[in-house]
Structure 1
Amino acid sequence: MYILKSKEEILSWVEEKNKNLKVVINKKNILETNWFLDEDGVIRNKDNTFFQIKGIKRYNYSNNIIEEQPILIQDEIGYLGIICKEFNGIMFFLMQAKIEPGNVNKIQISPTIQATKSNFTQKHGGKKPAYIEYFLNSDRYKVLVDQIQSEQSSRFLGKRNRNIIVSVDEDIEVLSSHMWMTLKQIKELMKIDNLVNMDTRTVLSCIPYLSLTDDEKKSIGYPKSNELKKSLYEGDGLNHITQIYHYINDYKMFDDDKKEIISLNKMQNWKWKGDEFCHKDRYHFKVIFCEMEIEGREVKKWTQPLFEAVGKAVFGLITCIEDDMLKFLVKAVPEIGCFDKIELAPTIQLEAGYEYDELNYIDKLFFDRWKNKNGVIFDTILSEEGGRFYHEQNHNVILNVNKDDIRYLPDNYFWVDYKTLVELIKINNVLNIQLRNLLSVLEA
């Protein structure tokens, strides 16, 4: 038996933890940390563990452009896992009040566990993450989701995590750092700036709603069939998949762009400015170094580099109603660190510092409508992953238009229905994390 906590009780729980949590984060010079720039131009720690930062260069021959930037190298797959359990016919999700060093507001609502392989194999000398045994022994339980999905390909090189949800029947000791919440509650909390973290959003986006039985839909608070908007859930979706894969496979086959890992010392447009490694002019992030002391972590005190955002990015999803069916406008985007060259992204994926005059007509339509609050159905500032990024907050916007407003589609854009996205999200590394995060905020 579990008594449902109210939204106010959840917010008070987070607020109280923030008040009592000791957190000290100070920016440092790299020489004051156990990290260094080695003779090969790689930023790494003295044990050569955790992760590394190298340079990456991409030669875009079709546009005669050369891009270069630092990139995070972390060649391991971590867990982003949620435990769920049914109480009185309602499914609850065990969520964690967790702080990451780069979080803008200390604690955010996180999965039951988010742990790199180095964490749960205790390479850093800390204790094992709580509840890790449920995921290491997941074959003992009912697995609702188990997918390996990409992280931010503009910051990581081929980084992926295992998004997994396990359903249990047994009693579980709930630590003071965790609380049972319903899916509906988590979705409501997503409307609050910077409260539900990126890892929670990506895991929940993977729930295969259309594949659930009626009882399973009911248990997670999914509306009954006669309560659903016909426009959102009907349509076979399969005709879109062939078209999308044709474009993506053509790109993978014929793209001649080349990527090269290079020394940070050999990057033409990046240099050290005081304690930071920055672009000479303007870029959407820079590399900083910090010392962290945080209570309740597997390791309480450590140093590490973080990518600090310079401004806020905008991730936007345009929707429309066509023939009583909700459609989503997505586009295929090749990012510099993408695991397999290209993934589906939201309609708008613009880093901070974009120039309005350089946008295409779809981008400008979005910004004009967003500015005038015309058709906006979701608009919240949400954080990116705080374990590697410092204070990275981005606008997440869903906006509805009349389909006739979109006069034509460039080759890499597609109108797709919900079922198409649900099917594609079951496949590893097709939908990027920005698109998955936007889908996660849709009301169940």
Structure 2
Amino acid sequence: MTVLAPGLAPADDQELTGLLAASAAAEVPDGGAALLGWLADHDRHAAMTVHRADLAALEGWTDDPVGGRIHHRSGRFFAVEGLDVQVPGAPVEHWQQPIIRQPEVGVLGILATRIGGVLHLLMQAKVEPGNPVGHQLSPTVQATRSNYQRAHGGRAVPYLEYFLGTVPGARTVVDVRQSEQGSWFLRKRNRNVVVEVPGGPEAVPARPGFRWCTLAEVHRALAVTDVVNMDTRTVLSCLPLAGGALRPAGAGRPDDFRAALLRSMLGESGGVHRTADLLSDLTVARTETDVDVGRVPLHTLQGWSRRDGAIVHDDGAYFSVVGVDVVARGREVARWSQPMFAAHGTGLVAFVVRRIGGVLHVLAALRTEPGFVDAVELAPTVQCTPENYAHRPASQRPAYLDRVLAADPDRLRFDTVMSEEGGRFHHTRTRYVVVEETGDDPDLVTGPGHRWVTLAQLSELVRHSHYLNVQARSLLTCLHSLALCA
């Protein structure tokens, strides 16, 4: 019999957890069709046109051959720079690459209020230049500091005042700084914040382009390709969906998987590892992992070249840095140009999960990325672009990759392609997968780089900065949707 370590203490605010759980379990009479129709209406009436452009000719940007970087002439927004990376002992110990340097801390904020006693979230229909298709379900506020300080000279960001602490009666639900993609951003962080406001929609009306939704509506939309944007997924992952207040919302779930998932979220049965031991493992990994990063000029990057107005890898793999010209309706600014990162191939992000002692556990990886603030964060079991490893021997392929790719469809508990943040990444999509394993397969005995973790433990860790990477946070939101969505 598997002995589980002691569970977590109940959530700090049981009333709040109960409100969130009830919102996540609320009935969606039309199956989410109204929400999808609302987004489609915006696609028809608020168009954005995006055209590829030469990096050297982007309006408002300097392609600096002396400093070796591409930056905005205002000195705001972000820059594309060259990075030299050394990680002794890693499978690849040294490489160079372009990276986005954006030292500003942006705001990813969602407003909440009670409508008929049920908590609702104010979501935005937002189109970004990198979106593969149309509008996506986005946070109430999704803005860099340069944007909300109006460095672009455009209109003010709606509802921003609720996230700057200037509205009486507003209650903070969650407020934590989290990392962005550590392979493409250098030490980038955003505030992930949810604020509850009293008075319902009469006190805070939904402006055009905004809609009050239950958490259940948003969770249902996660199953649809390219609908819920990355920023929404990361903010929702930080909600305190753990503890005994979840039990009424999850009562009567007949499915064994969902029952095990709910027990994992409740946290009462504990997990294979104590949370203190997980934190110690993460601290040891950060202490023993040396990541040396240094800036190098873009035009000297080893393995990269300028071709057709873009920066591309000599092997045609990984990603490219491209330029775009954008014309938009309904945005703070109607026209602009910018660099973007464009991935080659569809990424794969997967959690392998299994029931241990009747409690669902997630196999999390201790992952190093050059842009992390603190070297190592907990990540999905698999996180890569499979095309980049197609011709490599098994010893050079990521652990568990082949197992996930070969998984029987009956074991896929979640499987949706979703796009990454469309403000910086052009048509960059990732397949998000949850694969359930059963039995005591010896191949699932974890090595030093992986740990079995409950959802309650992940929810506890994500309340703090830099423990879960953005891909793991997206999958955490997907798992929450599986547990509570009616």
Taking structure 2 as the reference length, the TM-score comes to: 0.85
Q: For residues 181-235 of structure 1, what are the alpha-carbon distances to aligned partners after superposition, in whole Å with 9 as ceiling and x for unaligned?
A: 1001100011000001001110001001125x84xx69xxx71556582533332
Shift of 1:240: 3.1
Shift of 1:262: 1.2
Equivalent residue, structure 2, for 1:108:
136
1:106–1:352 distance in 2 versus 1, CA, 3 Å: farther
Equivalent residue, structure 2, for 1:270:
304
1:108–1:341 distance in 2 versus 1, CA, 3 Å: same
Shift of 1:252: 2.1
Which whole-Å CA distance do the structure 2 matches of 1:305 and 1:360 have between them?
A: 30
Equivalent residue, structure 2, for 1:208:
240
The one-letter amino acid of 2:474's match is N
1:27 to 41, 45, 52: 52
Q: For residues 79-122 of structure 1, what are the alpha-carbon distances to aligned partners after superposition, in whole Å with 9 as ceiling and x for unaligned?
A: 10000111111111110000111001120000111011111111
Query: Is the CA contact (8 Å cut-off) linking 2:28 and 2:216 kept in structure 1?
Result: no
Query: Is the CA contact (8 Å cut-off) linking 1:237 and 1:418 kept in structure 2?
Result: no
The one-letter amino acid of 2:293's match is K
260-269 or 390-399: which moved more?
A: 260-269
1:360–1:334 distance in 2 versus 1, CA, 3 Å: closer
1:355 aligns with 2:385: no
Give runs of aligned pairs for residues 39-438 of structure 1, distance below 5 A: 39-63=66-90, 65-137=93-165, 140=168, 141-170=170-199, 171-210=203-242, 214=245, 223-224=249-250, 229=259, 231-232=263-264, 233=266, 234-237=268-271, 239-356=273-390, 357=394, 358-359=396-397, 362-369=400-407, 372-405=408-441, 406-438=443-475
Query: Is the CA contact (8 Å cut-off) linking 1:55 and 1:70 kept in structure 2?
Result: yes
Among all aligned residue pairs of Structure 1 and Structure 2, give the percentage whose two residues are the same amino acid: 31
Indicate the SS of the match to 1:145: strand
Shift of 1:352: 4.7
Shift of 1:401: 0.4
Indicate the SS of the match to 2:274: helix
Which whole-Å CA distance do the structure 2 matches of 1:310 and 1:273 have between them?
A: 15
The one-letter amino acid of 1:146's match is D
Which whole-Å CA distance do the structure 2 matches of 1:29 and 1:255 have between them?
A: 38
Q: Which runs of no fewer than 5 residues in structure 2 stay unpaired?
A: 1-26
Indicate the SS of the match to 2:232: helix
The one-letter amino acid of 1:12's match is G
Equivalent residue, structure 1, for 2:17:
none
Indicate the SS of the match to 1:340: coil
1:202–1:138 distance in 2 versus 1, CA, 3 Å: farther
The one-letter amino acid of 1:201's match is R
Equivalent residue, structure 1, for 2:14:
none
Query: Is the CA contact (8 Å cut-off) linking 2:273 and 2:452 kept in structure 1?
Result: no
Indicate the SS of the match to 1:409: coil
Q: For residues 125-155 of structure 1, what are the alpha-carbon distances to aligned partners after superposition, in whole Å with 9 as ceiling and x for unaligned?
A: 1111110111112673111111111111111
Please tell me the root mean square deviation across aligned C-alpha atoms, in Å: 2.1
Indicate the SS of the match to 1:94: strand
Indicate the SS of the match to 2:327: strand
The one-letter amino acid of 1:383's match is S
Which whole-Å CA distance do the structure 1 matches of 2:303 and 2:365 have between them?
A: 29
1:25–1:164 distance in 2 versus 1, CA, 3 Å: same
Shift of 1:10: 1.5
Shift of 1:302: 0.5
Which whole-Å CA distance do the structure 2 matches of 1:150 and 1:366 have between them?
A: 26
Shift of 1:4: 8.2
Q: For residues 333-383 of structure 1, what are the alpha-carbon distances to aligned partners after superposition, in whole Å with 9 as ceiling and x for unaligned?
A: 0001111101000111012523253325522222211xx314101100001
Q: Which runs of no fewer than 5 residues in structure 1 stay unpaired?
A: none
